[in-house]
């Protein structure tokens, strides 16, 4: 829905006097900068190093739907100008021992959690916890987040601390949409997509199970 919003906003700016809208003065200067993460990094860790709230960092990076930046992405984060230089230096000097890497694994036909856990030298319980799975059912084509086996306990702690609020399950009803569910539970569409690893291009299906975190910061 961002296209109609952009059109509406541009119309308001172009015809502010006719619409009797008082627009605030905004300096003609960049508000954010792209910095190199120097490798894969958790969004929560990056926020802590920048002195930002996780929600603020995610607002600057709506395309980052996971707890960590993509392992094979361009390694860039958008951050406020005020912290860009210092955070870039900090991340460049961050040792591997303080980075908890993740892999994104696309489930293949015939896969099981036990087999995937064994292949990646991790535990089934950890895969369930990190990926918000209630049982052993997985579907081919979906993606699992798999933390590096060397530091999986720290990975799990970071993933859990990134989801504030009370965890609640929700079953999609006929006629539901991401927008309606987000409005009903006072969360954002991006949150629902991130919590449930959804494809934004697919419609919700009646009976589909979603995980929500309510009452968080």
For domain 166-214, give the CATH number. Answer: 3.10.350.10
Domain boundaries, the chain: 2-98, 102-162, 166-214
Average pLDDT over residues 182-193: 83
Question: Do the two domains 102-162 and 166-214 of this chain adopt the same fold?
Answer: yes
Report the 10 Å Cβ neighbour count for 165. Answer: 13
Say what percent of the chain tops pLDDT 90: 30
- Whether 11 has a pLDDT exceeding 90, the answer reads yes
Cα of first residue to Cα of last residue in the chain, in angstroms, is 25
By CB neighbour count within 10 A (0-12 exposed, 13-18 middle, 19+ buried), where does 30 fall? exposed
Using the structure block, give the residue that is written with the tokens 């859990």. 160
Per-residue pLDDT of 196-211, as tens digits, reads: 778 777 889 899 988 8
The per-residue pLDDT of the chain, averaged, comes to 82
What is the model's pLDDT at position 5? 92
Predicted model pTM: 0.53
> What kind of fold does domain 102-162 have according to CATH?
Membrane-bound Lytic Murein Transglycosylase D; Chain A (3.10.350)
Per-residue pLDDT of 128-181, as tens digits, reads: 877 878 778 898 999 998 876 555 555 555 555 555 556 678 899 988 888 889
């Amino acid at each position: 829905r961002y296209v109609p919003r952009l059109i509406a906003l541009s119309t308001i700016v172009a015809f502010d006097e006719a619409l009797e809208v008082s627009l605030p003065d905004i300096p003609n200067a960049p508000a954010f900068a792209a910095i190199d993460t120097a490798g894969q990094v958790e969004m929560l860790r990056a926020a802590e190093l920048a002195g930002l709230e996780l929600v603020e960092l995610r607002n600057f990076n709506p395309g980052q739907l996971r707890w960590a930046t993509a392992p094979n992405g361009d390694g860039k984060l958008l951050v406020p100008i005020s912290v860009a230089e210092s955070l870039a230096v900090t991340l460049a000097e961050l040792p591997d021992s303080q980075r908890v890497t993740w892999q994104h694994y696309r489930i293949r036909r015939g896969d099981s959690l036990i087999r995937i856990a064994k292949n990646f030298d991790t535990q089934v319980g950890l895969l369930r916890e990190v990926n918000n799975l209630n049982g052993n059912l997985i579907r081919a084509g979906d993606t699992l987040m798999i933390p590096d086996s060397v530091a999986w306990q720290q990975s799990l702690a970071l993933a859990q601390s990134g989801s504030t609020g009370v965890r609640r399950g929700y079953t999609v009803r006929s006629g539901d949409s991401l927008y309606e569910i987000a409005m009903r539970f006072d969360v954002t569409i991006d949150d629902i997509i991130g919590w449930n690893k959804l494809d934004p291009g697919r419609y919700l299906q009646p009976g589909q199970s979603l995980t929500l975190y309510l009452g968080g910061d």
